């Protein structure tokens, strides 16, 4: 079956119901296209929200890792060293946002 040129329009002419105006077909195509665009926009919004959430989780993980390593390093200097090391580690971890 021909897919391009005049042959394609002749081949598809038999698929149209008799008496269906071209305007109605155009409106149907427009309605279908708008539906597909709406679906695509919804999927894009979900992906953006998920990416934002993953970025926030990564930032939080960097801060937690920095504070853990800092408190472990500071524990060599006693309990106050752990506190100071944890605070400095959290600040250092936040630099990698």
| pLDDT recorded at residue 53 | 94
Which parts of the chain register pLDDT below 50?
Answer: 1-2
| pLDDT recorded at residue 16 | 58
| pLDDT recorded at residue 12 | 60
* Dmax (CA) of the chain: 90
| pLDDT recorded at residue 1 | 46
What does the domain layout of the chain look like in residue ranges?
Answer: 29-94
Tell me how far apart the alpha carbons of residues 74 and 7 are, in angstroms, rounded to a whole number: 80
Tell me how far apart the alpha carbons of residues 51 and 43 are, in angstroms, rounded to a whole number: 12
């Amino acid at each position: 079956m021909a897919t391009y040129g005049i042959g394609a329009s002749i081949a598809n002419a038999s698929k149209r119901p008799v008496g269906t105006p071209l305007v109605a077909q155009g409106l149907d195509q427009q309605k279908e296209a708008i539906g597909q665009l709406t679906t695509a926009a919804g999927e894009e919004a979900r992906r953006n929200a998920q990416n934002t959430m993953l970025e926030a989780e990564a930032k939080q993980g960097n801060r937690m890792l920095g504070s853990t390593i800092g408190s472990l390093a500071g524990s060599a200097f006693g309990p106050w060293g752990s506190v100071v090391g944890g605070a400095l580690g959290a600040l250092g971890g936040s630099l990698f946002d």
